[in-house]
Amino acid sequence: MIPYGRQDIDDADITAVVEVLKSDFITQGPAVPRFEAALSDWCGVPHAVAMNSATSALHVAYLALGLGPGDEFWTAPVTFVATANAALYCGAEVRFVDIDPVTYTLDLDRLEAMLVVAEAEGRLPKIVAPVHLAGQSCDMARLAELARRYGFRVVEDASHSIGAFFGNAPVGDCRFSDICVFSFHPVKIITTAEGGAATTRDPELAQKIELLRSHGVTRDPALMRNEPHGGWYYEQVALGYNYRMTDLQAALGASQMARLAGFIEARHARRAVYDEQLRGLPLQLPHQAEGQRSALHLYPVLVTQDAPLDRRALFDALRAAGIGVNMHYLPVYRQPWYVEHGFPQDECPVAEDYYARALSIPLYATLSEADQAQVIATLHRLLC
Ligand SMILES: *Cc1c(COP(=O)(O)O)cnc(C)c1O
């Protein structure tokens, strides 16, 4: 089966991990700061905090911004469940804002209309979390403008998006957001096995995130409530979660960061082949947003009405032909847990249409020419 995505681990990556295993520190050593410095450098942002997953990073990002019971948290429904789940961990009220039918990211017209109503009702969101679906952002400059006008904070779920650019600047520079979160799960652009990170320009937010990622414990006298009792002394000043990344993972991450530009290049080369060779089929191909360079985590195609097969039949036929297609995502509010907790089912018609017609075809840095040709030939055979 040709998978829809997979990691690329080379000998340098393996050597980097083995070196940590032979060293004095397999956690809380020098590899985590080294990985964080590589992330900061790439993103052009002063603070990057590595964690054991993007889910953890989202959770502490929301907490650092003060999200709590009674607060509204808004995000897109076409995302992995973690974007919304992490806000529920904080006790927030989650609402879903429909996606745009062309970019599949937050529909900012819809968001603005909802903000007008929410302002009149006195329940504006505390945080809006755009999701950079497939590796491309919504119009972050416009979102930042809305954030200023309506007083909400912005956390980017950039789990699909390390290596992407918005304008001339890398995603993660937080020019238009408070915090940006990346995932390093093996299907994403770079990997640390499990892993994630939060970036921010704000030193106070960075400090809060660092405390929460650990046990809320500090050895810095400036952060303590009392005079240190002696050289052994530390204080717990926040309720942390131990969401730390190990040095084994961070060494892998730092090694992968050196390869990031190449991974993105390779994805773009394969995207160009799909764009060229799938044209003319009854498929809506991914939109290339002006002024952006996508990280191309996914290549979602939407089956059009005139296709001889519907999405489900096409999905099954592709799987039967050894093509490991996937679907990203069932709108989160339709997950049984959300249904059981009373989330409205009828507020996001575009997400519904996307769910009815989308599938993700294989795209990753090491997808071979022969395998990609097989994906293309199979699509032609099934859809012509
Ligand atoms: C993968 C993913 C996450 C969660 O990432 P983990 O590192 O597995 O916790 C969150 N949001 C989106 C959009 C993702 O794709």
How confident is the model over 194-252, as pLDDT tens digits? 999 999 999 999 999 999 999 999 999 999 999 999 999 999 999 999 999 999 999 99
Domain boundary among 210, 230, 257: 257
143 CB near ligand 1 (under 6 Å): no
Phi, psi dihedral angles at 205 (to 5 degrees): -65, -40
Average pLDDT over residues 255-259: 98
| Distance of CA 22 from the midpoint of ligand 1 (Å) | 31
Judge if 226 and 264 occupy the same domain: no
Query: What is the per-residue burial (b if ≥16 Cβ within 10 Å, else e) of 303-322?
Result: beeebeeebeebbebbeebe
For ligand 1, pick from 52, 55, 181, 241 the residue to mutate: most ligand atoms within 8 Å of CB. Answer: 55
Taking only the tens place, the pLDDT of each residue in 333-373 is 999 999 999 999 999 999 999 999 999 999 999 999 999 99
Measuring CA to CA, how many Å separate 193 from each of 260, 278, 291? 16, 32, 31
Q: Does the beta carbon of 80 lie inside 6 Å of ligand 1?
A: yes
Please identify which residue in the block is written with the tokens 């799938």.
278
Say if residues 363 and 5 touch (Cβ distance below 8 Å). yes
* Statement to judge: residues 230 and 291 lie in one domain: no
Q: Which of 59, 80, 191 to mutate to test the pocket of ligand 1 (most atoms within 8 A of CB)?
A: 80
Predicted confidence at residue 238, as pLDDT, reads 95
Residue 209 shares a structural domain with residue 347 = no
Question: 224 with 266, same domain?
Answer: no
Is the CB of 75 within 6 Å of ligand 1?
A: no
- Alpha carbon distances (Å) from 54 to 80, 178, 252, 295, 360: 11, 16, 16, 17, 21
Span from the CA of 54 to the centroid of ligand 1 (angstroms): 5
* Ligand 1 neighbour 71 (Cβ under 6 A): no
- Supply the pLDDT for residue 187: 94
66 & 162 share domain = yes
* Last residue in a domain, options 198, 229, 257: 257
> Residues 284, 327: one domain?
yes
Contact (Cβ atoms closer than 8 angstroms) between residue 142 and residue 115: no
Q: Check if 76 has its Cβ closer than 6 Å to any atom of ligand 1.
A: no
Report whether residue 160 contacts ligand 1, using a CB cutoff of 6 Å: yes
CATH number at residue 297: 3.90.1150.10
Average pLDDT (59-71) is: 98
Q: Are residues 152 and 248 in the same domain?
A: yes
Spatial separation of the C-alpha atoms in residues 301 and 5, rounded to whole Å: 15
SS3 state at 48? strand
Output the CA 80–ligand 1 centroid distance in Å. 6
* 241 close to 56: Cβ distance less than 8 angstroms: yes
What does the alpha-carbon distance between residue 104 and residue 302 come to, in Å, rounded to a whole number? 11
Q: Quick one: 237 and 300 in the same domain?
A: no
Look at ligand 1, atom 5, and give the residue with the nearest C-alpha: 54
Domain that holds residue 277: 260-383
> CA–CA separation, 39 vs 357, rounded Å?
36
Among 12, 29, 3, smallest CA distance to 245 is for: 29
Is 232 found in the same domain as 267? no
Whether residue 85 is found in the same domain as residue 62: yes
User: Do 208 and 308 belong together in one domain?
Assistant: no
Label residue 181 by pLDDT band (50, 70, 90). Answer: very high
Whether 82 lines ligand 1, by a CB cut-off of 6 Å, is: yes
Between the CA of 220 and the centroid of ligand 1 the distance, in Å, is: 32
- Give the count of domains, the chain: 2
Res 15: pLDDT: 98
Q: From the CB of 196, is ligand 1 less than 6 Å away?
A: yes
**Which positions are annotated as active-site residues?**
188
Confidence band (pLDDT; 50, 70, 90) for 173?
A: very high
Question: What's the CATH code of the domain at 194?
Answer: 3.40.640.10
pLDDT grade for 93, boundaries at 50, 70 and 90: very high
Give the number of the atom of ligand 1 that is nearest the alpha carbon of residue 194.
7
Domain edge (last residue) among 257, 288, 318? 257
Are 47 and 206 contacting, i.e. CB atoms less than 8 angstroms apart? yes
The phi, psi pair for 2, rounded to 5°, reads -80, 120
Phi, psi dihedral angles at 34 (to 5 degrees): -65, -45
Q: Looking at the CA of residue 53, tell me the nearest atom of ligand 1.
A: 7
In angstroms, what is the span from residue 166 Cα to ligand 1's centroid?
Answer: 20
Q: Within this chain, do residues 245 and 270 fall inside the same structural domain, yes or no?
A: no
